[in-house]
């Protein structure tokens, strides 16, 4: 299907309707986002059900709707590991972090980790470890958005990515967390509505028997698509490393954990996590069906023919089953998904800089700096968005589900182990937390740079030229190495130089958690 065939008035209409509605919401929110608390956490006034929808919206990014569906449509069962991995992290979020984050945090993840430690070095370390997480995730959304707008309107990739960057800045600049939350809620409702209708249309073609759908997928390819492939030794380790990243990375994603600060209390934080767990689980059942449906009805060759490494499988399936009108709606929903996620990510990164670095470290008197934090956050958001747009141009054509896996790898390697130690291990020290955070982030980023992901897929070097180099990292996902390394370093450094005062702080912290 050509770009000209995809460009239709329905797509344009739904696209601009969503923009107009969300821009109006952003403008309304800007009138209420006066203080730092209102700008960064919506004043803690978001309800549990609303926050559950917003959490699901934050979590179900372009990687879930487009990337994971595309991976399944091209790889079959081997692509299902993405869906299983990202869902498996949610029960852990519900049980381990939702309540403590709300009780201990104010604006950011650093508030929680630094609660009983020396605040300044911990805040710097959390900011440095979180920046590559958010930036890589941002790049992922921009790559998907650029490909989708290119498919919808025939625009070039560069202007498409720049357009998305400008719109997301509008949300962050004026709406803050309140505006971003409502954009996430609207996006989540549209996303579930669109995918539910698409799944219904898909199953209707097979008499509402999922087994018939799977059988057709097998006929279009071969029986290997419904079973794990016999993997080489290296592939087994890479798959295990990816699973570790997806399961534990969710507990270290700053934009997810920050959402628990927008509700009134710890009980609402746990309830919102429960709602989000249910929504995420149901959605990934939809993803499984849509992936095999695209394989059966469209075929791998046609999916690859429009580019994007499988990212356009869902829009193609929507056009086939629902015509131009439904195609336009799904494209608008996909675009809404990306805009909402990039707005949340940009706000998280800007909040980290304004609250943790500028107010918590650079300014000697945090109280005097509080009123200026939203202004600093807006400046930071421009810099972050510019960097993300520039880097997204280098990652054109990459599968977005795989790229999200890399972002989760950094989160699992840096933030997750130190957050768990801060909450549940008495002997963690400031030095242990800082070295663990920086070691995990640096190791994950370095191993990704030395892996085929960057050396071959992005820099386009021949695999034969790099695989015999001493520095080459054969695994595409580094978590299986970088996560244990971060954990070991944090524990070892803490044990080498104990801090009785910080151990006493652990007792005080748990008194707060149990109150």
Taken in order of first residue, the domains within the chain and their CATH numbers are 3-360+372-396 (1.20.1730.10)
Mean of pLDDT values over 4-25? 68
10 Å CB burial of residue 367 (0-12, 13-18, 19+) is: exposed
Q: How many CB atoms lie within 10 A of CB 219?
A: 10
pLDDT at residue 34 in the model: 61
- Residue 5 — very low, low, confident or very high, per pLDDT cuts 50/70/90? very low
DSSP letter assigned to residue 329: H
Tell me the backbone φ, ψ of residue 45, rounded to 5 degrees.
-105, 5
| Structure-model confidence comparison of residues 41 and 394, the more confident one | 394
For 158, residues 6+ apart whose C-beta sits below 8 A from its C-beta are 146, 393
pLDDT at position 1 is 43
Residue-wise pLDDT for 447-484, tens only, equals: 988 888 788 877 778 777 787 787 888 888 899 999 99
Structure tokens at 291: 């992936």
**What is the model's pLDDT at position 234?**
57
Higher pLDDT, 259 or 368: 259
Given a cut of 90, is residue 369 above it in pLDDT? no
Measured between alpha carbons, how far apart are the two ends of the chain, in Å? 60
pLDDT at 58 over 90: no
Q: Does the pLDDT value for residue 200 go beyond 90?
A: yes
**What would the two tokens of residue 375 be?**
């202004």
Neighbours of 309 (CB within 10 A): 21
Upper half-sphere CA count for residue 494 (Cβ side, 13 Å): 25
pLDDT over 80 at 341, yes or no: no
Kindly indicate the confidence band of residue 2, based on its pLDDT and cuts at 50, 70 and 90. Answer: very low
Produce one character per residue of 165-194: b if its CB has 16 or more CB atoms within 10 Å, e if not.
Answer: bebbbbbbbbbbbbbbbbbbbbbbebbbeb
Instruction: Tell me, letter by letter, the H, E, C secondary structure of 416-461.
Output: HHHHHHHHHCCCCCHHHHHHHHHHHHHHHHHHHHCCHHHHHHHCCC
DSSP state of 60: S
When the pLDDT of each residue in the chain is averaged and rounded to a whole number, the result is 81
Nearest to 184 by CA among 284, 56, 64, 42: 56
CB within 8 Å of 47: residues ≥ 6 apart: 263, 268
For residues 476-504, give the mean pLDDT. Answer: 92
What tokens were used for 153?
Answer: 């309107």
The string of pLDDT tens digits covering residues 162-190 is 887 887 777 676 667 777 777 788 888 88
What single-letter DSSP state applies at residue 44?
G
**Residue count (the chain):** 515
The residue-averaged pLDDT of 395-409 equals 73
Please state, in angstroms and rounded to a whole number, the distance separating the CA atoms of residues 114 and 5. Answer: 54
pTM of the full predicted structure?
0.82
Q: Which two tokens mark 186?
A: 């609207």
pLDDT for res 152: 67
Closest listed residue to residue 251, CA positions, set 432, 18, 412: 412
Higher pLDDT, 25 or 440: 440
Question: Would you state the pLDDT for residue 3?
Answer: 42
Confidence class of residue 487 from pLDDT cuts 50, 70 and 90?
very high
Query: pLDDT class for 40, splitting at 50, 70, 90?
Result: low
Residue-level pLDDT at 175 = 64
The confidence score (pLDDT) of residue 243 equals 86
Helix (H) or strand (E) holding 177: helix 157-204
Over residues 279-306, the mean pLDDT reads 85
When pLDDT is averaged across residues 113-117 and rounded to a whole number, the result is 89
Task: Please indicate whether residue 83 or residue 212 has the higher confidence score (pLDDT).
Answer: 212
Confidence at 224, pLDDT banded by 50, 70, 90: low
Look at 496 and 71; give whichever has higher pLDDT. Answer: 496
Give me the mean pLDDT over the 134-146 stretch.
Answer: 80
Highest mean pLDDT among 38-42, 182-186, 221-225: 182-186
DSSP structure class, residue 224: G
Q: Is the pLDDT of residue 427 over 90?
A: yes
What does 472-486 look like in DSSP terms, one character per residue? Answer: ----S--HHHHHHHH
Which of the listed ranges 148-157, 310-319, 370-379 does the model predict with the highest average pLDDT? 310-319
Q: Running DSSP on this structure, what letter comes out for residue 362?
A: I
């Amino acid at each position: 299907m050509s770009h000209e065939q995809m460009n239709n008035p329905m797509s344009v209409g739904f696209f601009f309707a969503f923009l107009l509605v969300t821009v109006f919401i952003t403008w309304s929110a800007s009138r209420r986002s006066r203080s730092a608390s209102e700008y960064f956490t919506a004043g803690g006034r978001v309800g549990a059900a609303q926050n559950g929808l917003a959490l699901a919206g934050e979590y179900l990014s372009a990687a879930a709707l487009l990337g994971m569906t595309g991976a399944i449509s091209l790889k079959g069962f081997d692509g299902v590991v993405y869906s299983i991995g990202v869902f498996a992290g949610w029960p852990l979020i519900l049980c381990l972090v939702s309540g403590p984050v709300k009780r201990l945090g104010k604006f950011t993840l650093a508030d929680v980790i630094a609660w009983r430690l020396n605040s300044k070095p911990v805040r710097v370390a959390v900011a440095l470890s979180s920046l590559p997480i958010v930036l890589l995730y941002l790049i992922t959304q921009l790559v998907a958005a650029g490909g989708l707008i290119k498919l919808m309107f025939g625009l070039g990739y560069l202007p498409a990515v720049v357009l998305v960057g400008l719109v997301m800045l509008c949300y962050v600049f004026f709406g803050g967390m309140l505006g971003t939350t409502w954009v996430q809620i609207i996006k989540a409702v549209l996303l579930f509505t669109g995918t539910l209708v698409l799944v219904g249309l898909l199953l209707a073609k097979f008499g509402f028997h999922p087994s018939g759908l799977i059988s057709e997928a097998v006929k279009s390819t071969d029986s290997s698509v419904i079973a794990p492939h016999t993997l080489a030794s290296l592939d087994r380790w890479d798959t295990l490393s990816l699973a570790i990243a997806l399961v534990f990375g969710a507990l270290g994603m700053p934009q997810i954990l920050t959402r628990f600060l927008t509700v009134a209390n710890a009980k609402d934080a746990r309830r919102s996590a429960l709602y989000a767990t249910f929504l995420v689980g149901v959605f990934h059942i939809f993803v499984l069906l849509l992936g095999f449906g695209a394989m059966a009805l469209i075929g791998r060759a046609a999916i690859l023919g429009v580019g994007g490494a499988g990212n356009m499988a869902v829009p193609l399936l929507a056009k086939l089953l629902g015509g131009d009108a439904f195609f336009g709606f799904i494209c608008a929903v996909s675009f809404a998904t990306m805009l909402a996620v990039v707005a949340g990510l940009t706000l998280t990164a800007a909040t980290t800089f304004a609250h943790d670095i500028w107010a918590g470290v650079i300014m000697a008197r945090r109280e005097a700096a509080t009123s200026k934090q939203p202004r600093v956050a807006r400046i930071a958001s421009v810099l972050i968005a510019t960097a993300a747009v520039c880097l997204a141009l280098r990652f054109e054509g990459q599968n977005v589900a795989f790229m999200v896996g890399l972002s989760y790898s950094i989160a699992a390697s840096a933030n997750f182990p130190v957050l768990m130690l801060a909450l549940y291990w008495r002997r963690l020290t400031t030095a242990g937390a800082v070295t663990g955070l920086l070691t995990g982030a640096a190791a994950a980023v370095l191993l990704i740079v030395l892996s085929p992901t960057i050396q071959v897929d992005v820099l386009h070097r021949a695999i034969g030229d790099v695989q015999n180099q001493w520095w080459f990292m054969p695994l595409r996902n580094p978590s299986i190495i970088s996560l244990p390394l971060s954990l070991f370093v944090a524990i070892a450094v803490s044990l080498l130089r104990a801090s009785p005062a910080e151990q006493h702080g652990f007792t005080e912290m748990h008194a707060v958690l149990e109150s």
